[in-house]
Structure 1
Amino acid sequence: MWPAMAAMAWCALAHAGNPPTPVTDPKQALDRIERLRTTDHPRFAQMLAEFHREVPRLSASEQWHLRYLDAWEASYEGYAASAESQLREVIGRSGDAALSTKASALLLSNLGFSRRYEEAYRLANQLTAALPAVKDPQARFILLENLSQMLNYAGQTDLAVNYARMMESVVPPDGSLCRPRYLQVAALYNGKRLTTASAELQQAIDTCTAAGEPIITHALELALDSLYLDQEQPGKALALLDRIAPAIEASRYYLHMLSAQAKRAMAYAKLGRDAEARTAALAAVAMGHPGDINEWLKDAYEVLYQVEKKQGHAAAALDYHEHYAAQDKGYLNDVGARTLAYRTVQQQVLTRQMEAEELGRQNAVLRMHQALAGKTVETGRLYIALLLMALASIALWLFRLKRSQLRFKRLSHYDGLTGIYNHQHFIGEAERTLRLSEKHARHACLASIDLDHFKQVNDTHGHVMGDTVLKHAVGICQQHLRPADLFGRLGGEEFGILLRECSRDQGLEIADRIRVAIETAPIEKDGRDIWISASVGLAFTDTCGYGLQRLCKEADAALYRAKRTGRNRVIADAGNGSLAEA
């Protein structure tokens, strides 16, 4: 709704009072408007709307500049398709190298926002190759900015920081160090290398405040707020939110408003102010658009789940937990999709490089063969030796390529920490197995396993020990599974097991053996034992049918019942929608 309200405000400003003075120098006016994009966005939008009256008097290059600014505004408001169409026209038809570079950089950001990651990283590779030829300071600055941002999305922290630092040497005369320092902080934050005491963070906030860049300053302050929450300082987080709330509201930037509302809910929840936490979380959920998947909605639903669970509202808690789980899995899948797209494009580039190198080697062999065609038998033997070397090189290249493809395939199928199926591959294999089981009339059992109080392990002993606990639990489960059973990590500390050709009694027995084994096998740290336990929910095809979605729902419901009734137990569906404890 807010873009429409902003548009009405701009129209009102444009028609209030006396008509605007005609523009005497359109080029200077366009440059002046462009400088206001993030420092004073409402003024930028107003002036852009007024400037459209000058279109009949503009030169061709000035009209293309105006088209680029229109595309920037469309992208800012979230109209990705409209922005992309205008940007591609500027790139292909303007004939202005600097303007085309800026439009390409903005298109790169637009593709990432639209989750077209493979296309975005292919464009990023093209722009990286063209970077040395970009001489215009402003165009080079904007290109480096967007390259840093896209590499940050892919989890390439060091590369993202390097590009941001390169920006510092090409800051335009009317620019500042705000954006380079912000992008360095953003990369360090996503790479888990930032704390509330980090000098880079406060330096970036001071720089962007002094430069009059409110939107970027808000992003940095919200990152600081997240760090306060991560370090269990909800009072400081709430005080910061109260201080910056009026400015964020005035900017009307959707993502910042949503983020601030979700963080407010988390801060209230950590302070035990459940009613205020629930109100803030509901406000954040109400701000979301249909189909949105992001970390802020995930946090809001988690707060709602915890509040309703604490108050004993089981039905509402379960409903919010389902929304939270969907957001969590969707967010993790999106992060994985970015990384996978980056690796895919890099693999394609590597393959093309190797093919080019091989073609070069083959051409060298051919030229050598032509030069030695009229020589003696000894020369012929040398040619044969060279040819054998070329064949060996091809064989080695094919071997390396195949090994790289196999490794890439494994990365896409298996969880990097535990070595078992990842969520997507487990779901695909489970659906295939259930179809075969149904065809041959064989029963199966789906188990959802969740480690109890796992967050306390991370908070008390650190994430490294948390990873050790996850691998320890996986190793125990594998000892009690059969070769034909499927085992996958669904997300966080939650795992799924599909037991093939398994009766109800067998499923209960295997699940309970796993539960007991986890409970009785502590992990030693610094001479002390760390004890963990697990809750298990079971669903069987004889009562739920062979549809994976129904089995997952019933198993999750049973798992939730096991959690709610004390943890460290096995609960199975008992048919007709009821549950039974093992």
Structure 2
Amino acid sequence: MVAIVLLCSSQSILASVFLSQLTQLEEIRLINFTSFSAGLAELEKVKSSFTEEESQYFALLKGYEKSLAGEYEQAFIYLAPLIQSTSSGIYHFRAKVLAVNLYAISHDYLNAFLLLGELNKELPFIDDAVARAQAVGNIAMLYNGIEKYEIALFYSEQFLNSIKDQQLVCRVLVHKLTSLANLKKNSDFLSEIDHGIATCRKSKEKIPEIIMLRDKMQVLLHLERLSEITSLYQSISEDVVATGYPMLIAGILNITAQAYLRAGDLSNAELLAATALRQIEHTSINFVQTELYKLLADLEKRKGNFEAALAYFEKHSALEKTYQDDKTNQQLAFHLAEGELEVKDKRIALLDKDNELLSLQKNLYEHEVKQNRLLLLLLFSVLIIASFMAYRGMSGRKRFKKIAEFDQLTGISNRYHFNNLAKVALDYCELNAKPAALILFDLDYFKTINDNYGHATGDWALQQVVKTCRNFMRNNDVFGRIGGEEFAVVLPGCHADKAALLAEICRDAIATIDTTESGYQFPLSASFGVSSSDISGYQLKQLLADADLAMYSAKQSGRDQIATYTHLMDTAD
């Protein structure tokens, strides 16, 4: 236990002494919770002598103490001032990290994921390795909690690849192993678990070590290696109880009870299951509770006590429904938060596009200065922009959002935004006597894909097509989704032959997309129409109409090909 030496007069205690004691207490937070809590109680008597930094550190540790004790509302009382602080210091960041976990435990998943989004943006700027480890650990734990194990595994591995401190490795490796266990990657798990346990044991990180042992027991249960589970439990039972962590204790008791039940040892199974239930009788509904009631129902059934078995099964069913409802709420909150964060990102993307437009307007202005004949056009453009901004202000936020939105499915411009950007690009080309071309393409037999494989598969196909085609486009090309499965590209500075070459590259790339990733195997192809300013002029409406005629010709000729617009097509039509 960390010895805390307090002098009678708080005025004589040096600030460095308090900070050192707080640091020592944090080091045993996950090793000896009883000593950790007792040390905080002693320091609370002299907290009036703390500096601002010490007060923040103390509040953070009290938040950890209350959260480990299951007193989540009390934990938030200590954390709230740190989170709301205008300071962006390390304690502010670490309080957010802990709050994410507490929100999740308290079933306030929307706030958990919104705060998680903030942490993801702040994380690259945090130099403190301990804080980074805690952030990654809590992020991974949250994703594991909502069964997004692949995402949790990604965060864990990314951190582990960049750190060598064994204590921090232990604190994050535990979450990686939990992900592997739940993904049923048993061979990967078993190849790393003993090294992970040894690392935590060497670092004296008792709780992560016990969590790893719990996960090992769960994997062994899945593999029906029952005797290994019971032997392991007998060797660690005292250490498990010493953690003082009810959910962890109950989880290990549940797995061991399951092993005893499968081995036919009903007496030990019943004893451990009852002990586990007592550990978590005052906690919120969780997976361990549902498993325990199911186990007890099965046990009573084996003993021939059908009435007791029915009673336990009814409790299991009620808890299972509540637990599954909670899981549904988790997923809903995850997607709601994801949507809100995506809207924020889209607004940032809009500002980037506005900056691009401003850059383009600057170029136009420089050309107009050199060519006096364009001065009138510039003044007129400024008048139009001013009028548009005034109109946008009067029409309100809803109108602004409509103009700004991108296509939610593919991430490229929607029809409205495409038209605006395309007209700017075409005007620029016309003013500077540069060529311009337009590609219009439509996916072949797309309705058949939706009908046969579902709209989710159709959406996947649209996303893959856009992702594939964007690889071959320049930064100044204007790419938009202008219909269900119809796309258009404006190519400033390109003649028809260059546009046709790009269309052929895209057509070939679409045809080679591996659709098995969607869960189904089906052909993907598209028909392309190409028009250019050489024949169709610089008006977007005319370029689209002529490209549409060419695309119709490609479809009539058998689909999965390109056609370039000529005047002969008007005659054929």
> Which residue in 1 is equivalent to 2:535?
none
Tell me how far 1:366 sits from its aligned partner. 8.2
> Which residue in 1 is equivalent to 2:320?
328
Whole-Å separation in 1 of the counterparts to 2:168 and 2:346: 42
Tell me how far 1:216 sits from its aligned partner. 1.1
Provide, for residues 256-309 of structure 1, a one-character-per-residue CA deviation record: whole Å limited to 9, x for no partner: 221122223212210112233223222323333357322221221112111222
1:295 to 283, 287, 300: 287
> Which residue in 2 is equivalent to 1:397?
407
Pairing 1:58–2:50 present = yes
> Which residue in 2 is equivalent to 1:87?
79
> Which residue in 2 is equivalent to 1:203?
195
Provide, for residues 81-139 of structure 1, a one-character-per-residue CA deviation record: whole Å limited to 9, x for no partner: 11112112123348460111111111111111111111111111111111122122322
SS at match of 1:122: helix
SS at match of 1:145: helix
2:104 to 85, 100, 112: 112
Tell me how far 1:355 sits from its aligned partner. 4.7
Alpha carbons of 1:316 and 1:250: their partners in 2 closer, same or farther (altered >3 Å)?
same
Tell me how far 1:185 sits from its aligned partner. 0.5
Correspondence list, 1:16-95, <5 A:
24=14, 25-93=17-85, 95=87
Quick one: which amino acid aligns to residue 397 of structure 1? D
Quick one: which amino acid aligns to residue 219 of structure 1? I
Whole-Å separation in 2 of the counterparts to 1:307 and 1:183: 32
> Which residue in 1 is equivalent to 2:331?
339
Provide, for residues 15-47 of structure 1, a one-character-per-residue CA deviation record: whole Å limited to 9, x for no partner: 9xx999985522222212211111222222222
Equivalent pair of 2:273/2:296 in contact (CA under 8 Å): yes
Tell me how far 1:170 sits from its aligned partner. 6.5
Equivalent pair of 1:181/1:200 in contact (CA under 8 Å): no
Whole-Å separation in 2 of the counterparts to 1:95 and 1:238: 50
> Which residue in 1 is equivalent to 2:263?
271
> Which residue in 2 is equivalent to 1:182?
174
RMSD: 4.3
- Tell me the percent identity: 20
Q: What is the aligned length?
A: 391
Equivalent pair of 2:218/2:255 in contact (CA under 8 Å): yes
Alpha carbons of 1:19 and 1:187: their partners in 2 closer, same or farther (altered >3 Å)?
farther
Alpha carbons of 1:369 and 1:14: their partners in 2 closer, same or farther (altered >3 Å)?
closer
Equivalent pair of 1:201/1:220 in contact (CA under 8 Å): yes
Whole-Å separation in 2 of the counterparts to 1:335 and 1:204: 29
Whole-Å separation in 2 of the counterparts to 1:112 and 1:50: 30
Whole-Å separation in 2 of the counterparts to 1:128 and 1:105: 10
2:129 to 128, 137, 140: 137
Correspondence list, 1:318-467, <5 A:
318-358=310-350, 361=353, 375=374, 397=407
**What TM-score comes out, normalization by structure 2 length?**
0.59
Equivalent pair of 2:180/2:188 in contact (CA under 8 Å): no
SS at match of 1:177: helix
Alpha carbons of 1:395 and 1:343: their partners in 2 closer, same or farther (altered >3 Å)?
closer
Alpha carbons of 1:45 and 1:361: their partners in 2 closer, same or farther (altered >3 Å)?
closer
**What TM-score comes out, normalization by structure 1 length?**
0.58
Alpha carbons of 1:136 and 1:291: their partners in 2 closer, same or farther (altered >3 Å)?
closer
Tell me how far 1:328 sits from its aligned partner. 2.5
Alpha carbons of 1:197 and 1:142: their partners in 2 closer, same or farther (altered >3 Å)?
closer
SS at match of 2:127: coil
Rg larger for: 2
SS at match of 1:104: helix
Alpha carbons of 1:364 and 1:23: their partners in 2 closer, same or farther (altered >3 Å)?
closer
Whole-Å separation in 2 of the counterparts to 1:292 and 1:204: 30
> Which residue in 2 is equivalent to 1:238?
230
Equivalent pair of 2:114/2:341 in contact (CA under 8 Å): no
Any unmatched runs of 5+ in structure 2?
A: 383-387, 389-399, 415-453, 457-573
SS at match of 2:45: helix
Alpha carbons of 1:104 and 1:187: their partners in 2 closer, same or farther (altered >3 Å)?
same
Provide, for residues 141-177 of structure 1, a one-character-per-residue CA deviation record: whole Å limited to 9, x for no partner: 2222222222222333333223223434665969442
